A and B are shown apart, each in its own frame.
Chain A
Amino acid sequence: MRLNELSPGSEAVIDHIEDRESGDPVAVRLRELGFVPGEPVKIIAQGPFGADPIAVKIGFTRFALRRVEAARIVLRAVA
Chain B
Amino acid sequence: MDAMVETLPLRAALVGNPNCGKTALFNQLTGSRQKVANYAGVTVERKEGRLTTPAGRGVRLLDLPGAYSLTATSPDEAVTRDVCAGRYRGEPAPELLICVLSATNLRLHLRFALEVRQLGRPMVVVLNMLDAARRQGMVIDVPRLQHELGVPVVTAVAIRKNGATDLLDLLDHPPLTGPAPSAKDEDLHATVRRLLTECVSRPSAGTEALEDRLDRWVLSPVTGLLILFALMFVMFQAVFSWAQPLMDSIDAGVSAFGELVRHVLPDGVLQSLIVDGVIAGAGTVIVFLPQILILFLWILVLEESGYLPRAAFLLDRIMASAGLSGRSFIPLLSSFACAVPGIMATRTIQNPRDRLITILLAPLMTCSARLPVYTLLIAAFVPDRYVGGVFNLHGLVLFTLYMAAIGSALIVAWVLKRGGKATEHPLLLELPAYRLPNLRDLGLGLWQRAVIFLSRVGTIIVTLSVLLWALSSFPAPPAGATGPAIDYSLAGRIGHWMLPLFAPIGFNWQICVALIPGLAAREVAVSALGTVYAVGGGETDAAAQLTPLLSAQWSLATALSLLAWYVFAPQCFSTLAVIRRETGGWKMVVVTATYLFGLAYAASFVTWRVALAFGGGAS
Contact = CB atoms under 8 A, between A and B. Distances in A.
30 contacts: A26-B426, A29-B426, A32-B69, A33-B68, A33-B428, A33-B430, A34-B108, A36-B189, A45-B224, A45-B313, A47-B313, A49-B317, A49-B318, A52-B316, A53-B317, A53-B427, A55-B219, A59-B105, A59-B107, A60-B104, A61-B105, A62-B431, A63-B428, A63-B430, A63-B431, A64-B313, A64-B326, A64-B428, A64-B430, A65-B428
B71 interface: yes
B221 A68 contact: no
Contacts of A32: 68-69, 71, 111
A57 B220 CA distance: 15
A64 B309 contact: yes
Given A25-B73, A53-B317, A62 B211 contact: yes
B312 A64 contact: yes
Contacts of B589: none
B149 to A, nearest CB: 18
Contacts of B320: 66
Contacts of A48: 221-222, 224-225, 314, 317
B105 A47 contact: no
B212 interface: yes
A64 B427 contact: yes
Interface string B413-444: 00000000000101111111000000000000
B221 A64 contact: no
Nearest to A33: B68
B215 interface: yes
Interface in A37-79: 44-50, 52-53, 55, 57, 59-66, 68-69
B316 A29 contact: no
A63 B429 contact: yes
Interface of B: 68-69, 71, 73, 104-105, 107-108, 111, 189, 211-212, 215-216, 219-222, 224-225, 309, 312-314, 316-318, 320, 326, 424, 426-432
A29 B428 contact: yes
Per CB-CB distance, the 9 closest pairs between chain A and chain B, nearest first, are A45-B219, A48-B221, A49-B317, A62-B431, A64-B313, A32-B69, A64-B429, A59-B107, A36-B189
Contact of B317 (A47, A55, A69): A47
Contacts of A44: 212, 215-216, 219
A30 interface: yes
Contacts of A1: none
Contacts of B107: 34, 59-61
A61 B428 contact: no
Given A49-B317, A52-B316, 13 more contacts: A25-B73, A29-B68, A30-B428, A33-B68, A33-B428, A34-B107, A48-B314, A61-B105, A61-B107, A62-B431, A63-B431, A64-B313, A64-B428
